[in-house]
Amino acid sequence: MRRIDILVVLLCLSAMSGLGAGMAASATTERMAAPTLAALEAVPPPEEFIEGSVGPVRTLDPEFAASPAERAITGLLFRGLTRVGSDGTVLPDLAERWDVSADGAVVTFDLRPDARWHDGVHVSADDVAFSYESLADIQVRRIDRFTVELRSAAPLPGTLTRARLPILPAHLLGDLTPAERAAHPFGRAPVGNGPFALLESSDDAVLLERVGAPPGGRPSRYEADVRAKVPEPTPRSAPRVRAHLERYRFLLYPDEAAVAAAFAAGDVHAMASAQPADLLRLIAEPGVQALAFAGTRSLVLVPNLRFAAGPLRDAQVRRALSLAIDRDGIVESVFAGSGLTGQSIVSPASFLFDPGSVPAPVLDVAGAQAGLVAAGWTQAHGGWLRPGSGEPVTIELLVRDGSAAPLDQAVAELVAEDWRSLGLAVDVVALPPEELVSDRLRPGSFDIALLEIDLGLDPDPSPLFASSQASVGGTNLAGYQSSLMDRLLADFREADWDDRLDRFTALQATLLREMPIIPLVFPDEVFLTRDEVQGLEPRQVGDVRDRYSDVLAWRLARPRE
């Protein structure tokens, strides 16, 4: 079942009325000077966009942001070199343009010369070098003040996508050690480079204010405080677009249920991360929009392929069990209909997904039974017997327990029921995450496990399937080893920009045939808003910050007089 249908109607925000006859008479003079406090007090209070989010907010340094609210807020305070477009493409942000070398290993970025920190200092190549120097597989080189080069040891097609990482101010943080950085006041009073700046912060709310104002727009307290010391941006033929929203307030709540209650009460314009039961209840209310942002995280089944005697060692058995899974039923009953099903390790929303080479998953119980028979399995003694065995097979399905991942456990139970419909015995075992990983997955003591993976917006499947990662402690938890797959992975990683889709299509064909993991669903990231919220355009997101990629276009529509 497809994710929630969305209707986004773009309405123009009504023009602001004049600030009084006296100010109109001297408009030319006033535009060049910072507004006085008296003038600010005379205008109506600015409109606020209010989002409910799960706190707390202990730091707004992007490197240490952890809670949903911290990560969301830093997405408005800070920018990267690039951002995600609505169609999954990569667009310029703090970078004005870039050039890619012929082998794809070097990307040279030209920064916007008018990009400034909120304290007025230019965003420079020094800031990029400081922010990205900790990336293990990227080398950063400053070319000049506004030009920087990112180089990978091997061709790394994901460089543009990784350049979404927030840029931090080297002139404020560059001399700090990591320990000093964690405790530095910057985390409570950050100086960013994004479209909004921090105005106020408390335990239950954080208020951001738009940086800059369009001609004729309402001046802000933030502008009154800093405009005098911030020089005008470098003139450009295409001026930087300003946000429509004047202020953005985050109201902080202890959990998702409290956020949902605030949204239902009309205390906030928007919220994310609703549990399925709350989601179904809220979207049924009049005046509510549900925007489904396709995510990059997925739920997959990882079989243990390390031992020849394992019940799922045969690829034909794995393909048969995949046919028996009702993926649409999982999306409908567990994720309130908001998610994508698939047989690929990348989402159908990904630019790498080729619908022509990956068939849509189908529920085929008869085909699943025929597949088991073709693999030499027989039904007897009330179950399925493997070739050469007189004992019915019982498959143990491991999953994170409900306290850590309640939705995962619900998915595991549905998968188990589907397999039981074949006559197969299945035991679902829920474990704390630490125990699941250390006691069962790492030593290879399992039959199959339901896990969450996230390959990001520019996926590299090598950690999942490379033979070099199949040893104990590696990321290839299935223990899958294939010289053909190793070669396909190397070809994909070394492909130039134009050949990547073709290389991934060849790789995906092998994964469909051998099925070293069984993909299930890609849950959507659902963002609930009121009808007056306009201009949001869903896109695939790899991080909560990506949700704000088009925040400059967001508006609050005013009711008609």
338-360 pLDDT per residue, tens: 999 999 999 999 888 988 889 99
Lowest mean pLDDT among 29-33, 168-172, 274-278, 295-299: 29-33
476-486 pLDDT per residue, tens: 999 999 999 99
Average pLDDT over every residue of 257-263: 96
**40 pLDDT more than 60:** no
pLDDT at 45: 58
What CATH number is attached to the domain comprising 201?
3.40.190.10
**228 pLDDT more than 80:** no
pLDDT at 44: 53
Q: Which domain holds residue 60?
A: 45-78+194-287+542-561
**496 pLDDT more than 90:** no
* 411, 299 Cβ separation under 8 angstroms: yes
108 and 239 housed in the same domain? no
Lowest mean pLDDT among 103-107, 230-234, 352-356, 392-396: 230-234
**497 pLDDT more than 90:** no
What CATH number is attached to the domain comprising 311?
3.10.105.10
Question: Does the residue 28 lie in any domain?
Answer: no
- d(CA 555, CA 532) in angstroms, rounded, equals 8
477 and 389 housed in the same domain? yes
Transcribe 357-398 into DSSP letters. Answer: TSPPP---HHHHHHHHHHTT-EEETTEEE-TT--SB-EEEEE
**524 pLDDT more than 80:** yes
386 and 350 housed in the same domain? yes
Contacts of residue 179, defined as CB under 8 A and 6 or more positions apart, other chains included, come to none
328 and 440 housed in the same domain? yes
431 and 392 housed in the same domain? yes
Structural domain count of the chain: 3
Residue 82 DSSP code: E
pLDDT at 34: 40
Three-state DSSP at 451 gives strand
Work out the end-to-end distance of the chain between its first and last CA atoms, rounded to an integer number of angstroms: 40
Burial of residue 537 (CB within 10 Å: 0-12, 13-18, 19+) is middle
**78 pLDDT more than 90:** yes
- d(CA 288, CA 270) in angstroms, rounded, equals 9
Buried b (16+ CB within 10 A) or exposed e, 22-43: eeeeeeeebeeebbeeebbeeb
pLDDT at 32: 31
**215 pLDDT more than 60:** no
Q: In which band, very low, low, confident or very high, does the pLDDT at 403 lie, cut at 50, 70 and 90?
A: confident
344 and 474 housed in the same domain? yes
362-374 pLDDT per residue, tens: 999 999 999 999 9
Closest by CA position to 227, among listed 186, 197, 187: 197
**How many residues make up the chain in this entry?**
561
339 and 460 housed in the same domain? yes
74 and 91 housed in the same domain? no
pLDDT mean across residues, the chain: 85
324 and 213 housed in the same domain? no
What CATH number is attached to the domain comprising 136?
3.90.76.10
Task: Give how far Cα 337 sits from Cα of 53, 86, 328, 399, 425, Å.
Answer: 22, 22, 8, 22, 28
526-550 pLDDT per residue, tens: 999 999 999 998 888 988 999 999 9
270 and 225 housed in the same domain? yes
409 and 342 housed in the same domain? yes
309 and 437 housed in the same domain? yes
* 128, 82 Cβ separation under 8 angstroms: no
Average pLDDT over every residue of 80-109: 87
